[in-house]
Chain A
Amino acid sequence: MRTKVKLKIVLYGLMAIVFLCAVYVYYEIQRPARVDVSTLEKATILNTDDLIGMFQSDESYATATLVEKVIEVKGVIQEISFLNNRHTILLKSKNSTKSFVMCDMSPQGLYIENLIVGDTITLRGICKGYLLDVIMLNCVPINEKPKE
């Protein structure tokens, strides 16, 4: 009798483990790619000149150091565009007139009407690398609030 009870406990235990594993796998598969970078620990704080300069001076090192990391970058807005249903903010550099930091904005918590060209802004996003510009995705403004 006691053996049967023990077997039942083991069986139910195994079923619970299998169920929990299935739930974990399901949520892992369904986990959305876009992350809220405002909740992530920031890796590096840079201004646009330093960020662009790092990639221009040693792209391999900058790629190894910065790509897929959360970066907080401060700079002056060169352009705000809305293309392909996405807002993009281009931050300019004092040292380079041809390279910018291109920030693809996350729609969450974006108060684009607060921003105008020439403003100095701090954005946090995930660095993806460098082409002509440093490219950052999932960007969110830091300390920006809706207009009252």
Chain B
Amino acid sequence: MKNQKNSTLVLILLLHLGLYGQHSGNLICRQGKVSFFSYTAVENIEATNNQVVSIVDENSGEIAVQMLMRAFVFKKALMEEHFNESYVESDTYPKLTFSGKINDFDGVWETTAPKFVDGIMDFHGVQKTIALKISIENENNNLVLSGDFNVSIDDFDIKVPPLLVPNISKEIQVMFRFEYVPYEE
């Protein structure tokens, strides 16, 4: 319930940004890519979500991200079933949201220097403040934000059955790439 409420808040933020998108130069990415990797001696697990939505406010440097946990695609069906049913409990917590802002944003997007984004990630019923290092690029006249970070499964209250502890890394590597286009009403 709490997760749904927070998802709704982020959606309101997204819609709020979108409402004035025509005037304030907001950018949208409907097909952002987020992948995660879990490396252990027993097995490597990876999955990709290509339908992550993100909106950026060009003027303020605010970023909102939302994704469906069930949209992660695995190579093997059993991994996908365990992920959705046992670990992230996708029926109870269907979405992951992140809302944050670029630190010391000066309104300039044309930079090669990495930036840091402070924000709150709402995942698996847990809200946690995180700092992300992002790269800013310009590809085909589109703004591209990308980066990677590690997530500790303990931080987000993800329980792994004792039998499967050797199969799941405590630290999950997450990679993301968002290519934005102007938001048009």
Residues of A with Cβ closer than 8 Å to B?
28-35, 60, 63, 67-68, 81, 83-84, 86, 88, 97-98, 102, 104, 128-129, 131-133, 135, 137
Count A/B pairs, Cβ under 8 Å. Answer: 69
Interface of B is mostly: strand
A128 and B77 contact, Cβ closer than 8 Å, known pairs A83-B31, A102-B51:
no
A67 neighbours in B (Cβ, 8 Å): 70, 94
Q: Give the residue of B66, B70, B79 whose beta carbon is less than 8 angstroms from that of A128.
A: B70
Q: Within residues 6 to 42 of chain B, which ones have a CB less than 8 A from any CB in chain A?
A: 14, 18, 30-31, 33
Q: Is the CB of B51 within 8 A of A29?
A: no
Least distance between B102 CB and chain A CB atoms (Å): 22
A88 neighbours in B (Cβ, 8 Å): 31, 50
A132 and B68 contact, Cβ closer than 8 Å, known pairs A28-B78, A33-B80:
no
Q: Give the residue of B18, B66, B76 whose beta carbon is less than 8 angstroms from that of A29.
A: B76
Taking the complex as formed, is B56 at the interface, i.e. its CB lies under 8 A from any CB of chain A? no
Taking the complex as formed, is B73 at the interface, i.e. its CB lies under 8 A from any CB of chain A? yes
Pull 22 A–B residue pairs with CB atoms less than 8 Å apart, ordered by A: A29-B76, A33-B75, A33-B76, A34-B73, A67-B94, A68-B70, A83-B179, A84-B33, A84-B50, A86-B50, A98-B185, A128-B71, A129-B68, A131-B53, A131-B67, A132-B14, A132-B30, A132-B53, A133-B53, A135-B68, A135-B71, A137-B71
